[in-house]
Structure 1
Amino acid sequence: MKRILYKIINKLGYNIQSKKTKREELLRPLTKYSHLNNFNIIILAQNYILNLENKYRDFEIKNHEQGFMVSFSNLNIYIESLEEFHILNEVFINDDYHYTTTKKSILIDIGCNIGITSLFFSTFSYIEKIIAFEPVTITYEQAKLNFQLNTKICKVDAIKNVGLGKHKREEKFLFDRNVKGNTGIRGKLSPSYSKNKSAKEISVNINEASSEILEIINQNSPLKVIVKMDCEGAEYEILESLKETGVIDEIDVLLMEWHDKGTEMIEKILEESGFEYFSKRFSSISGIIYAYKSVK
């Protein structure tokens, strides 16, 4: 009976495939990676991987420690999770931080996570030096490893195992190594942590943003100053600190993600400080703002 039904349906021009066949077709582009440990992550990251393969013909993934060594365009990046494949896609495919200039610059990377954005900026000739900040020790160690894996390209002069904020203090974060990039003061406001039963509480050190950034600027004059901020909720207090101390006047470009509280306060400070800007919304609770001082 089943065969008769299949024949009738096929004659009508329809094609029936089993769930197994559909799954096999979906996974076919990933066959070359089937030997990898944690292949389930590869399956979930399929779209990101295919995007990277299409752009970089030398793209490779190998087993490494608890995760994967991803290699392309002379870069080697150690990643452990689906989220980190997502960040690779954001940075190298979507070009979320693709800023160019003819002026020699220093990048201050606030919330460098595992170092992907710092490595992306290291490929640009206008970048002379990068100073990075990452408060979570496990994440900081992974970033250090990624910088060490790319000594011929990496322009990170220093990475500090601290976060930045309005005041120096010790802070408590929720942490899950599968979602390192969503770790910060926003805590359970992040969808990655709102119902996360695997998260644990950790302590991190926060330094005053203005004093840290001003010291970097003073030591690297006359380089143009680019500040990249992706610090999971701390962006508001950091920007307030920079405005109140006048340090924001020494910054040329701000590339910053915002979370939960919208853009009104950020836009007000940027306008008062002489920045022009445009933005891109990721969702109702997050987005990115690109701000720059206009040259007259």
Structure 2
Amino acid sequence: MKKLVKSLYLLYFFLKFKNWSIAHFLAKDGFPLDRIQEISVKDGKIVINKTGQAFTIDQIAPCKSSFDLLLTIVNHDQVKIDTAGKEVYITWDGVRVKVDSFENYYVASELFIEGLYSLHYNKSLVVCDVGMNVGVASLYFAHMSNVQKVYGFEPFKETYDAAVANFNLNPAINHKIVPYNLGAGGSTSDLVIPLSNVDSATKSTTDFVLQHLDTDAVKTVTVQIRDIQEVVQEIFTNHPSEELFLKLDCEGAEYEILEKLDGSGLLPKIKVIIIEWHFKGYEPLEKLLTANGFASVVFPRPTHTIKDMGMIYAFKM
């Protein structure tokens, strides 16, 4: 039955666009028929009708699992996509990042369109970005006029290098970012972990998260983790006049990080904390935050791969 449906899709897309390669691409990956009027085909490229933006199949391929996401991004008035060369770049309010995977498109959408970290705070801040990934959030924070410095922590070398490349695209603000090819956790250690066959945004150093991911049974990678207590204390020492904003998107390490900050007495000294939780629920995190004088708001954000995840926005009262 599925083969028949795809064959009908293929015929429909070919009759509409007169291009077998594009018809096969759209049919194979299930382009939503209810949005078909938003695109056309010209000179062997897929054109977004609203903007006139043209994509090759290779450029659009990272979003083949979610054409809706791509169409939402390219049709957004405040986001510009550069497809002039082989690589694709997204620009938002002067911030420019390379997008070469679905996860990078997704993260750009979360920050630039949804405003996941759209924090309006009129005091001088320093940001500790744990789970820097390819640097989109660090750039977003550095773009804020009241943010004086961003310290970013990313343990995976390939992902870290991609972040540095994105920082180099933004010379007007990259001086505010201090990146580390390190993770942050409950203690300082070197971890040997199995390689996971997932995009950068879902790589993890924690055992309970790795159990849910597709990992290689043979290949491993060694990553360095630094004690979050040392990280935060050093930031306080270097920035006695700024308030600290802690962002945790670290695929499971958020639990041990908050426990360590609670045990060390540093947690109540932080003013703002935004956490993405994974697999173990928000309750243990919220309990620690409440005990340390934070008011928090919880937003579940399940995905098709991770049902137990979401955001916590916490503010020291």
Range into which the TM-score falls when normalised by the shorter chain: 0.7 to 0.9
1: distance between equivalents of 2:293 and 2:208? 34
> Using a 3 Å threshold, how does the CA distance of structure 1 residues 155 and 175 change in structure 2: closer, same or farther?
farther
Match of residue 19, structure 1, among 3, 12, 26: 12
2: distance between equivalents of 1:268 and 1:222? 29
Q: Which string of whole-angstrom CA distances, capped at 9 and with x for unpartnered residues, describes residues 102-137 of structure 1?
A: 101111100110001111112221111111111101
1: distance between equivalents of 2:293 and 2:92? 39
1: distance between equivalents of 2:139 and 2:69? 18
Partner of 1:117: 137
Q: 1:91 deviation in Å? A: 1.2
Amino acid at match of 1:206: I
Q: Does 1:49 align with 2:60?
A: no
2: distance between equivalents of 1:81 and 1:110? 21
Match of residue 163, structure 1, among 183, 189, 214: 183
> Using a 3 Å threshold, how does the CA distance of structure 1 residues 155 and 275 change in structure 2: closer, same or farther?
farther
Match of residue 142, structure 1, among 148, 154, 162: 162
2: distance between equivalents of 1:282 and 1:198? 30
Match of residue 232, structure 1, among 251, 272, 279: 251
Q: Does 1:28 align with 2:39?
A: yes
Amino acid at match of 2:276: E
> Using a 3 Å threshold, how does the CA distance of structure 1 residues 245 and 171 change in structure 2: closer, same or farther?
same
| 1:109/1:227 contact within 8 Å kept | yes
Amino acid at match of 1:81: S
Which blocks of at least 5 consecutive residues in structure 2 are unaligned?
Answer: 1-8, 17-26, 41-45, 48-52
Q: Does 1:151 align with 2:162?
A: no
Partner of 2:239: 220
Identity rate of aligned residues, in percent? 25
Q: 1:211 deviation in Å? A: 0.9
What are the equivalent positions in structure 2 for 1:86-97 lying under 5 Å apart?
86-97=106-117
Amino acid at match of 1:34: F
Q: Does 1:290 align with 2:313?
A: yes
Structure 2 length as normaliser, TM-score?
Answer: 0.78
> Using a 3 Å threshold, how does the CA distance of structure 1 residues 265 and 42 change in structure 2: closer, same or farther?
closer
2: distance between equivalents of 1:177 and 1:149? 28
Worse overlay, 203-212 or 53-62: 53-62
| 1:176/1:200 contact within 8 Å kept | no
Secondary structure at 1:277 match in 2: strand
> Using a 3 Å threshold, how does the CA distance of structure 1 residues 245 and 73 change in structure 2: closer, same or farther?
same
2: distance between equivalents of 1:146 and 1:230? 18
Secondary structure at 1:141 match in 2: helix
Number of residues paired by the alignment? 277
Q: 1:55 deviation in Å? A: 3.0
Q: Which string of whole-angstrom CA distances, capped at 9 and with x for unpartnered residues, describes residues 155-202 of structure 1?
A: 5431111101111111133445751111113467469x6346699531
Partner of 1:128: 148
Secondary structure at 2:234 match in 1: helix
Which blocks of at least 5 consecutive residues in structure 1 are unaligned?
Answer: 1-15
| 1:130/1:158 contact within 8 Å kept | yes
- Where relative contact order (Cα < 8 A, 6+ residues apart) is larger, the structure is 1
Amino acid at match of 1:173: I
Amino acid at match of 1:51: T
Q: Does 1:73 align with 2:93?
A: yes
Q: Which string of whole-angstrom CA distances, capped at 9 and with x for unpartnered residues, describes residues 73-102 of structure 1?
A: 222201221111011111111111111111
Structure 1 length as normaliser, TM-score?
Answer: 0.83
1: distance between equivalents of 2:79 and 2:104? 19
Q: Which string of whole-angstrom CA distances, capped at 9 and with x for unpartnered residues, describes residues 246-281 of structure 1?
A: 111220010011111112211111011110000110
Secondary structure at 1:59 match in 2: strand
